[in-house]
Amino acid sequence: MDVLVVGVLQGVDPRNVENALRVQSLFRNAPHPVEHILDRCGGRPIHVLGTLNSAKTTLSFDPKLLSVRITKPGQMPRVECPKEAGVVLQVITFDRPDPRRMQYLSTTPISLSLEDKLGAFSSVPPFDELDKDEEVERKRKAKLVEKLKLHTVVTHPRTSKELALPIILNQINCSAELNDLMQSNINMVGTRLRRKMSVTERVAETAASLRDSISLRMKEAFLRNVWPTVSHLFIWLLMLTRIVAEALLWLLDWRPLPNLVALKDISATAQQLDIRLQQFCYWPAQYRTLQRTSCDWMSTSDSHPEYIRFYNSLWLVANDVIIGIALGSYVLENADLVAGQVDTIINTYSIEGLQRMITWLTDYPAGLKLNNELAKFLADLFLWVIDYWDGSMRQLRPLLPYVVRLIGLSSLAGASLPISLVSDLVSLLTLHIYSFYIASARIYSWQLTIIISLFHLFRGKKRNVLRNRIDNCDYDLDQLLLGTILFTLLFFLLPTVAVFYATFAGARMAIIALKAALDTWLACLNHFPLFALMLRLKDSRRLPGGVRFELQDTPAALLHITATAAGTRAMAPTSYIKLKSVPLPLSQTFSQYAQLGHRLRKHYLSPHVFLCLVSGQFVPPIHRKNLYSLQYSMLPVQRVTISELWGLLRTPKKVDTAAAYANGHVVGSGHSKAKQGRAKASEGYWWST
């Protein structure tokens, strides 16, 4: 037999308590229907379990009326059960979770992100191949698991205790509110004679009633006359802002042609605006979801993950704005100095440094003997483009202080917006380097492809494009002679082209690394689980990652039982177990970052990327949608529409009519603060759900 203690009622008779539970007088003034809790806890009614610290010592064991003793605060409870009863006892203790502080026990780790959005971005290149590989690997592992199940000799079915564990945890989670409700109605148990109040007490009660009546009338007048107008104005203002946000989101996601990309897919600033606008569109729905939890018991709510996601996003936005204000104030106060430093960095690394590097490549770089004519031709070509780019930048240089001030002003909306602007500026100011990389990679790839084809010519073979294989082929003498000349010429010119390609490829990889660092900073500002980490440090029971049973050291308890037992009677063997909540591991808290890092390593540090760099093929950058998928994990794939938001805002708050009447008596909107049922050395009683 398994029993669960809900609370201890002191100074009452067990028969009166049983009668009060039967007529539900202990559940009066309940803010919500008690049936909601009972249904969640398996639908079992509450009964009297027994007595605590009873004056009489029982010499027999009655499972329907237990006798428990606790002589010291914090000591293990001792069930009075003689050894002759042939019963083995197991006492499981736990720290009762407080639903008002959103503490609860759960065998399933809490989820800090919304459902998996694998299908939302699976069609976006170049991550579509990675998604396909991940899906294939997932299916392969699932097949292996199914095969292992077929080869399993013995299958152990789940025991009744394992099946009952979720219901038991629900009973533990709901025990605090039930205990508070019963403690507040303890005066309903039995009949008690109340003494007449003194004159001072009557005066104090009259003054308190008058104060409560005045405050209640003022509140009713405010809710009747002022609040409807204020709420309607706020709703209309919110809807107007929502319409503007919807128009901006449509503009950011608009594609001129189906095969073209949207603005948010090529601009970090547009992507950041899209994230903030989607958060703004989702916050009202989140708030309404959290508001509905006040219409029912806190222990029956399933919105704890939504609460963490909502306030985590608010905290991140608040921190983003605070950091942005500090950053923007510095930039605005030192705009000319910052503009000068930016101009120096641009000239040093993207223009003058690149010119020196190209000039160095024409004069035996690192002792390599290159083709002087080809090196001079390529150098003159690239230097001419750099000179033209430098002239264009000089014409735009007077606008640089204004651009810096604009970035400083954008910091007032958060530090993420100027970081996005800087990322876009890096892309624009290094456009010539990107062009050099594309041109040199294309020349290097063509030359390498021709050399490989001529090498097959020497072997008397030819590549069959249709069958994708190497076939035998007969060549004439003049074809072999011409192929030999071209092969020799291209092979000796290859090092010259290769050093230029390696230079621009290295510069391109450095720019990608810089932008990846900026995007990582943006990911931390937009998605870092700050609120969850603070909850874990402050109260880890609000972030459950499972439960753990710990066997307690029982020799001290056994010695106490031997010393205090009646006469020399031996008590039944008893084991003590502590039920603890396991906090959510940090690996699961940062699981989204680990997944993103895995995909980045798979994309940039794979043999395929190395082969692309060696062969001169284009290394595709990470698509912005896939890079920002971490930051979209807190948002739904389909945002709430304008009509749905209007319905949410116009829907009145539901009132439980069943909670307004309990046991035939009119119930108020709340109940008094419950007493803390601390176990003392006085007579009390236990209940079970």
pTM summary value: 0.78
Comparing 219 with 390, the larger pLDDT belongs to: 390
CA atoms within 13 A on the CB side of 361: 26
Taking only the tens place, the pLDDT of each residue in 332-346 is: 999 999 999 999 999
- At 673 the pLDDT is 37
- Give dist(CA 378, CA 372) in Å, integer: 10
How confident is the model at residue 642, as a pLDDT? Answer: 87
User: Is the confidence at residue 3, as pLDDT, over 60?
Assistant: yes
Instruction: Read off the pLDDT band of 607 (50, 70, 90).
Output: confident
CA distance 269 to 275: 10
Arithmetic mean of pLDDT, 305-322: 90
Q: Give the containing element (helix H, strand E) for 583.
A: strand 574-583
Residue 440: band (very low, low, confident or very high) from pLDDT cuts 50, 70, 90: very high
**Are 317 and 272 contacting, i.e. CB atoms less than 8 angstroms apart?**
no
Mean confidence (pLDDT) of the chain: 80
Residue 674 pLDDT: 39
Place of tokens 């390609």: 501
- Per residue in 116-145, pLDDT (tens digit) is 454 444 434 444 455 666 678 878 888 888
Beta bridge partners of 581: 547
User: Residue 566 pLDDT more than 50?
Assistant: no
pLDDT band at residue 680 using 50, 70 and 90 as cut-offs: very low
Q: What is the DSSP-derived secondary structure letter of residue 347? A: I
Q: Specify whether the CB–CB gap between 85 and 572 falls below 8 A.
A: yes
Domain segments of the chain: what residues?
Answer: 334-531+592-622
Q: Are strands 574-583 and 89-94 parallel, antiparallel or unpaired?
A: parallel
Q: How far is CA 275 from CA 65, 328, 648, in A?
A: 60, 21, 22
Question: Which residue has better confidence, 46 or 560?
Answer: 46
Q: Look at the block and give the residue holding tokens 């794979």.
A: 606
pLDDT tens figures, 451-461: 988 888 877 77
pLDDT tens digits for range 620-648: 777 666 666 666 777 887 888 888 888 88
Span 503-548, pLDDT tens digits:
999 999 899 889 888 888 888 888 888 888 888 888 888 889 899 9
Q: What is the dihedral of CA 278, 282, 284, 286, to 10 degrees?
A: -150
